[in-house]
Structure 1
């Protein structure tokens, strides 16, 4: 049994309106070790071609992550059931040096499950000509299977120096540069879920019991409860908080599983909850 979802207003909590970002790609001997100023990188994620099929129907639900170092700086929308997706999404990223690559990673969205990796590439910004729009084609690869053909991603990019502006001023101005980039980092509320207990769950093991745990998913956010061994009436008493980014709310997908060592876990059941922002 799941406790009701509680929404906490985020109006009195601090927002992260912008982030300092380090981007780069391959190398360029002409770029000094310490760049004199800031850069602005405007990216248009255009489309993918011949992407890898990860679903049983021979298709995928791809989306793209852009990362610098270990930080995610932008995430695209999901294009359902398409190996040749068209995004045409724009992002504005702030750069304070050109020493780290911009990584592009593509995933297949799996509702209630772990998303499947579809390939990655990186862009060397130091190879770009400043102030000039550049069309970029990136070949996706899997480091574990380098010979696999995973398709391509097409981008348009412009790298612009901002040498005459201080970092503080540039960061303030960056709040207005891209609505999509800003929305990807600002949350509008918190969905708080308390997982209390399960009752009369289905027995999935030969001993007439299960080792149940619960997965929660809201958009790209995921949580997993602890595993309760050998019981059909587990007591969890755990709480999970999700950030609510969409203005109209979202859908929480809740699935119960039986943990099986050495093989695929057994699916017990699913519950889907619609969350409306501002509802009691």
Structure 2
């Protein structure tokens, strides 16, 4: 009536226990080392990806900047539409100012209008990227002329000159309050500004950007240099990818076990096959025993080892081929597959 005690007990001799402990410690060390290597490789790939991205962005900026060369920007077919009433008489006395850095030109002043076409008025503004810090923006400002208290600004906007290089384009800009003026980065590459109508009217004109011949030649040289640099970056990236790929392959042992075939096609008259599996890595190959009269088979207790050295073996994949054994007319090929080591 005192009950019972139940337990499992395992007696491990000292030497055998120590061996198992050492093997487990070695296995854990290898796993930790592989995890460390994988993390290092992942970090390297991230850093390399970020470096390539920065190089591409820098190259793109250099290419874009190289397009802006010294030249002349011509403004013609200038008009204003739907201007707000600025004077007591319900009209305005508008003029348009085009400014690029320190260089600027303005139209004539028109009295008492809200809509006007500046017929036969054309203006050329010198564009010098060295004075514009590489920016290719023209500021367009519309004023109401006032002889007493100073001119009143009606509205402003800006546009990139690059789309008009060697081709005249039509530009329509809704005038914006001065505090809403967009900077270069936000307005870059926009031909027709899409800011909302602020009720300040719009300015319309044609624009033609003609580069200086001397700067055109220099620009071609810069672009050619950038193209060569881009090609070098692409080649370097390809080499890095190959190098990263090769770094994953290290000398070691490749073991195959628990080999089996399933659902093989019928290769013999009896509706069966006599399959064996051939394993090939580089110039080394090994094969299983031959199973007779079966379409599904497990090659029990059959294990194969390959010594793999990427410095010797260029192949990175193991070829697996399955044959139907035939001692009379030669083995029949059933199928093949490959697996990255």
User: Does 1 or 2 have the higher relative contact order (CA < 8 Å, sep 6+)?
Assistant: 1
Q: Fold match, TM over 0.5?
A: no
**Which structure features the higher share of strand residues?**
1
**Scaled by the length of structure 1, what TM-score is found?**
0.44
More helix by share: 2
Q: Which has the larger radius of gyration?
A: 2
Give me the TM-score of the superposition, normalised by structure 2.
0.37
